[in-house]
Every structure is written in C-alpha cells, then in structure tokens.
C-alpha cells in the first residue's frame, strides 16, 4: 500500500468525483498524502481539462479540505501540466509535467486516445516510421525539462500505452532506446522526479506501470527520485499498486 499518491483527477477536469470524495476515499484506503492534479488548460482541446476560470475555485475548495482534514491526511492542490498547457502554472502547490499530444503539421495528435489514431498519424506525418513518431514524442518529453515549475515527469513513456505484448513496436529497438534515453538525460540533468504511474494498469491497457522496468532501472542508476501516482479518475483506484509491482519497483 502506498502512503502518497500525487496523481489524481476530479470533476474539475476529467475525473468522476469531487475533491472531497477523493479525499475521503484516500483516507479510507490509508493514504497519508494525496495530491490532486487536475489537467491544466489546453486551448486546442477543452474536452478534458480544467477551465481557466475554474482555477481559483479549485484552489479554494482544496484549500478548505486541507483545513478540514488537517491531522488526518496531507492534501496538495497540484496540476497535471501538459507541455502545451496555458495559464499560471505557479498557482498550484506542484506541477506534474506530461506530454499528451504530438504537435505535427499544425495539428495536436493525442498519443493516448487510440492505437488506430496513432497508426494513421504515423502514416500521415512520419511515412509509417513508428520510431520517427516515438522520437518526436520523446523530443517533446525532453522539452518538459525546460519548465522550471515542473517537478515531476508524468507517465514518462505514455507512448507505450497501446504496446502491451509489444503489439506496435519492440521496446528494445535501438532507435526507441536512444530516443527515451535522450529525454531521460535531459530531465535528469534538471533534477526532475519521475512518477511510477499505474493508470494504464487499472484501466486494463498494460500489465506494467509507466515507466517500463528497464527505463526505471536506467533512471534509478542515475540517482532519479520517484513519486507514486495512480492517475485515478475515480475514488476506488487511489493508491492502486499491485503487490508484484510494488516488489518489482521496490516501492
């Protein structure tokens, strides 16, 4: 069981429960520190993120919960900041930096929506070369190193979401490895922390967390700090961490 879960979503973005419902669930699950990290605003896709005008009530509402549950659980008002988010990142207690889109040809292509969308974007923009696409993804991930307020890198290898059993590409391919290592090195240099994110596990996409074990080992060997994030969009999955994952990642 984890004591700290720093990646959760509420009704302020694409979650299904209020901040207080998330807090009460965290309490009942024995979590001692809960970070609420709703999605930062992206003007080109308003479907899933927090409205700019909602930030002040978000901070106020979570602020009131901090007081109400003082002594029982530590609560933080964070944000999951997309590389292309807009607004005041400094308004939050902390920021997780994430890449959810590839920006190509003036389009923003979501990387975690569906495998068919990724495959067609690969045909359209990368001549069908999947490693050119994954390289673009990791170039964007590396750019998170340049956002000083970002302290945690969210789901570092989200691009593998639809790659269970290496359906789309072998992760051992040298081009893929070179791409993620470049991003990892840039982020390590700026002392960013990385999260162990189990979101795709409890949603049934992957049997392993982000990042993959070999990526985790690479980061760990270079002194990376890690946080835990369930990426919960509902109360029941807060702190989700199967015992075998806990053991494998030495959490």
- Contact residues for Zn ion (CB under 5 A)? 80, 98, 231
Distance from C-alpha of 65 to C-alpha of 20, rounded to nearest angstrom: 7
In the complex with Zn ion, the residue whose CB is nearer, 140 or 231, is 231
Q: Rounded distance, CA 30 to CA 4, Å? A: 9
**Smallest distance from Zn ion to CB 99, Å:** 8
In the complex, the smallest distance separating the C-beta of residue 233 from Zn ion, rounded to whole angstroms, is 8
> Which is nearer to Zn ion, 98 or 237 (by Cβ)?
98
Q: Which CB atom, from 97 or from 184, has the smaller least distance to Zn ion? A: 97
Q: What is the rounded distance in angstroms from the CA atom of residue 81 to the CA atom of residue 178?
A: 25
Min separation Cβ 67 and Zn ion, Å = 26
DSSP-assigned letter for residue 91: G
- Using the minimum distance from each CB to Zn ion, give the nearer residue, 134 or 237: 237
- Least separation, in Å, of the C-beta of 235 and Zn ion? 15
Token pair, residue 187, equals: 């982020």
Q: For residue 70, give every residue at least 6 positions away whose Cβ sits within 8 Å of its Cβ, in sequence order, or none.
A: none
Pairing of strands 193-197, 226-229: parallel
């Amino acid at each position: 069981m984890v004591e700290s879960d720093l990646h959760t979503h509420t009704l302020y973005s694409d979650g299904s429960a209020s901040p207080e419902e998330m807090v009460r669930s965290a309490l009942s699950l024995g979590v001692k520190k809960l970070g609420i990290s709703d999605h930062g605003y992206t003007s080109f896709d308003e479907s899933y993120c927090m409205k700019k005008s909602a930030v002040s009530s978000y901070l106020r509402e979570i602020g009131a919960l901090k007081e109400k549950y003082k002594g029982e659980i530590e609560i933080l008002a964070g944000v999951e900041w997309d590389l292309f988010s807009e607004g005041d990142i400094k308004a939050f207690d902390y920021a997780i930096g994430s890449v959810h889109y590839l920006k190509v040809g003036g389009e923003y292509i979501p990387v975690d929506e569906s495998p068919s969308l990724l495959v067609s974007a690969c045909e359209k923009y990368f001549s069908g070369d999947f490693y050119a696409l994954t390289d673009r993804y990791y170039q964007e991930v590396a750019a998170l190193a340049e956002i000083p307020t970002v302290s945690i890198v969210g789901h570092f290898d989200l691009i593998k979401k639809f790659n269970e059993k290496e359906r789309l590409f072998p992760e051992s391919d040298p081009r893929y490895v070179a791409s993620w290592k470049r991003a990892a090195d840039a982020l390590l240099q700026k002392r960013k922390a990385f999260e162990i994110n189990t979101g795709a596990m409890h949603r049934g996409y992957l049997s392993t967390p982000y990042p993959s074990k070999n990526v985790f080992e690479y980061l760990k060997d270079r002194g990376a700090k890690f946080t835990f994030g369930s990426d919960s969009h509902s109360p029941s999955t807060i702190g989700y961490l199967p015992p075998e994952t806990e053991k494998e990642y030495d959490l």
